[in-house]
Amino acid sequence: MSEQVVLEHRGTWAEIILDRPEKGNSLTIPMVQRLGALVGELAADRELRVVFLRGRGRFFCTGGDIGSWGRLTPHEMARDWIEPGIAMLRQLAALPQPVVALINGHALGGGLELAMAADLRIALEGARLGMPEVNLGMIPAWMGVRRLAETIGVARARQMALLGWPITAREALDYGLVNAVAADEAALEQLVSEWRTKLCANAPISMSSLKAMFAGMHRNEDHYHASVAAHLVATEDCREGVAAFLEKRPPVFMNR
């Protein structure tokens, strides 16, 4: 099943591609395991600046394959599906590098949960995003309700989760669920190129520190913000960023 999740590593950036287009890139247990393993590898890559996540074909991800979880016992469901899925998404969200989900088609159920674990999301016009689990007598099993409420607010999260109706890419942009909408594939790739250039040029230590702050935003962060800022001012990258600004040149960050 490893070939159904493909890693394309391009030096300072990488793409994780769901490659099961004949099944809408729906996730199986081996695919979840493979995603977790890949994310673990990327976390330790000091040269990597940004990770993109996309689906092959017409869909981003249509959720968890019902064949993988539909006949599991409660114990098996918790052990083999829910807990590994939560752990994988937690790993993805905790990557030190920014993660950008490229929603090139429908993102439903577990597919939307996967996209929400990313830091930024670009949706293709025509994509639909939704949590249809109530139609199956299920709920979003991988902390999706919490992530959705944190992203778009409780009222809109209730609307999406309780009705189970998908929303359009433009509605998702209005909700704040996606950061940009591309009119077509060419426009999507243009945005990817622009964002990749910018993210690869940013200071990686700063971006990873910001991610840690966002992850802990419900804690009292006064001392943490101060300690992080104090740490960063002593790094080579911060000194280089300041020097480059004063010298009116592009900075060259070394992740040190």
pLDDT digits (tens, 9 = 90+) for 11-66: 999 999 999 999 999 999 999 999 999 999 999 999 999 999 999 999 999 999 98
Tell me, yes or no, whether 138 and 16 share the same domain. yes
| Residues near 8 by beta carbon (within 8 Å), at least 6 away in sequence | 14, 15, 17
From 3, 47, 83, 113, active-site residue: 113
Tell me, yes or no, whether 160 and 238 share the same domain. no
Domain residues for the domain of 207 are 203-247
Segment 182-198 mean pLDDT: 97
Q: Active-site residue 133, yes or no? A: yes
Domains held by the chain: number: 2
Identify each DSSP E strand in the chain by its residue range: 5-9, 13-18, 50-55, 99-103, 107-108, 120-124, 128-130, 167-168, 180-182
Tell me, yes or no, whether 188 and 237 share the same domain. no
pLDDT of residue 222: 57
Tell me, yes or no, whether 131 and 216 share the same domain. no
Asked, for residue 254, whether it belongs to a domain, the answer is no
Tell me, yes or no, whether 58 and 114 share the same domain. yes
pLDDT of residue 218: 64
Asked, for residue 252, whether it belongs to a domain, the answer is no
Tell me, yes or no, whether 191 and 233 share the same domain. no
Q: Which of 171, 121, 126 is nearest to 147 (CA)?
A: 121
Tell me, yes or no, whether 187 and 208 share the same domain. no
Q: Name which residue leads in pLDDT, 111 or 213.
A: 111
Asked, for residue 255, whether it belongs to a domain, the answer is no
What CATH number corresponds to the domain at position 26?
3.90.226.10
Asked, for residue 253, whether it belongs to a domain, the answer is no
Nearest-10 crossing angle of helices 236-247, 204-215 = 120
Share of the chain above pLDDT 70, in %: 94
Tell me, yes or no, whether 12 and 131 share the same domain. yes
What predicted TM-score, i.e. pTM, was given to this entire model? 0.89
From 22, 125, 133, 185, active-site residue: 133
Tell me, yes or no, whether 26 and 139 share the same domain. yes
Tell me, yes or no, whether 20 and 147 share the same domain. yes
